[in-house]
């Protein structure tokens, strides 16, 4: 989902920068507030930021299509540290990837933050919360959130490309969206299932080993004594 420099017109690149910056500002505010309130928040932030950076850079081969792609990590991050904090982590990760790893561009950073950071985090978080309200277990709700967040990221990237692609062409935005999502989704579908499984397993592991973390973050309700 890393859109390279040159693939969006200036107007759309600026639009995505502007939109994403609102969410990033809220995220920075949340980081400082949560770090003050919750003692184990900083180590958790370190853990999650390293995970997001690594997961979103890891090209996993998908044998059935013969291609490779990467999961996102932001749905898991959003569930653990909050959706807006997760957006800040995606900015750091995407900036490093654009500067040193030839993954994504600088002018398209806003669009990439919008898809992986904002949409991945918000969809993952909302689906997780809805799943919990509907009575799903922690692992299942997180698993569905991981899957849905991953797919939402790639659909958003396809939309961004369809709306902002440069050059002269005779494709409507709808047709371009179908062309780009048709290119991503066959590879991404198995990886989204994998991301869902990892997200669910991670939440279940933390609930087993350190449930107090989930109580403090408001992910689980503390059982009454």
Partner 1 sequence: MIKKVVLVLVLVTAIVLFIPSAALAGQKWQGTDDLLDSKMKQITGVAAKKPLVDVNQGNLGLFLFAAGGFTAGTVFGYQWRRLFHEKAGTGND
213 binds partner 1 (CB under 8 A): yes
The residue (of 23 and 154) whose beta carbon lies closer to partner 1 is 154
46 binds partner 1 (CB under 8 A): yes
Candidates 16-24, 113-121, 122-130, 159-167; binding stretch for partner 1 (CB under 8 A): 159-167
2 binds partner 1 (CB under 8 A): yes
Which two structure tokens, joined as six digits, stand for 121?
A: 């985090």
Q: Which long-range contacts (CB under 8 A, 24 or more apart) does 126-132 make?
A: 127/75, 128/75, 128/78, 128/79
Helices (H) and strands (E) in the chain, counts: 9, 2
Rounded Cα distance, 55 and 173, in Å: 30
The 10 Å Cβ neighbour count of residue 83 is 26
| Candidate residues 18, 25, 29, 61; the one interacting with partner 1 per rule CB under 8 A | 61
174 binds partner 1 (CB under 8 A): no
Residues of this chain, 111-150, that bind partner 1 according to CB under 8 A? 137, 140, 143
Smallest gap from Cβ 25 to partner 1, in A, equals 25
Burial class (CB in 10 A: 0-12, 13-18, 19+), 76: buried
Q: Helix axis angle, 41-55 relative to 74-81, nearest 10°?
A: 170
In this structure, what are the phi and psi dihedrals at residue 68, rounded to the nearest 5 degrees? -135, 155
35 binds partner 1 (CB under 8 A): no
Burial class (CB in 10 A: 0-12, 13-18, 19+), 90: buried
| Candidate residues 10, 18, 43, 218; the one interacting with partner 1 per rule CB under 8 A | 43
Smallest gap from Cβ 108 to partner 1, in A, equals 10
10 binds partner 1 (CB under 8 A): no
19 binds partner 1 (CB under 8 A): no
| Candidate residues 15, 90, 115, 187; the one interacting with partner 1 per rule CB under 8 A | 187
The residue among 180, 178, 185 whose CA lies nearest residue 151 is 185
54 binds partner 1 (CB under 8 A): yes
Which two structure tokens, joined as six digits, stand for 163?
A: 């709306």
Are the beta carbons of 196 and 146 closer than 8 angstroms? yes
Where do contacts with partner 1 occur on this chain (CB under 8 A)?
1-2, 4-7, 38-40, 43-44, 46-47, 49-51, 53-54, 57, 59-69, 96, 98-103, 105-106, 137, 140, 143, 161, 165-169, 171, 176, 179-180, 183-184, 187-188, 190, 193-194, 196-197, 206, 209-210, 212-213, 216
């Amino acid at each position: 989902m890393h859109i390279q420099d040159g693939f969006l017109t200036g107007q759309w690149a600026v639009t995505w920068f502007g939109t994403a910056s609102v969410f990033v500002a809220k995220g920075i505010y949340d980081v400082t507030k949560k770090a003050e309130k919750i003692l184990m928040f900083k180590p958790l932030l370190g853990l999650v930021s390293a995970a997001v950076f690594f997961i979103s850079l890891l090209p996993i081969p998908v044998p059935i299509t013969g291609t490779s792609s990467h999961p996102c990590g932001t749905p898991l991050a959003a569930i653990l540290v909050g959706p807006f904090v997760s957006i800040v982590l995606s900015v750091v990760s995407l900036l490093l990837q654009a500067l040193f790893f030839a993954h994504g561009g600088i002018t398209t950073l806003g669009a990439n933050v919008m898809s992986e950071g904002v949409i991945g985090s918000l969809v993952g978080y909302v689906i997780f919360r809805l799943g919990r309200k509907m009575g799903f277990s922690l692992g299942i709700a997180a698993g569905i959130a991981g899957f849905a967040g991953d797919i939402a990221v790639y659909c958003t990237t396809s939309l961004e490309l369809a709306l902002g692609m440069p050059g002269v062409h005779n494709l409507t935005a709808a047709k371009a969206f179908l062309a780009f999502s048709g290119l991503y989704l066959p590879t991404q579908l198995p990886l989204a299932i994998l991301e869902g499984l990892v997200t669910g397993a991670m939440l279940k592991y933390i609930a087993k080993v350190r449930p107090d973390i989930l109580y403090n973050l408001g992910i689980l309700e503390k059982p009454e004594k």
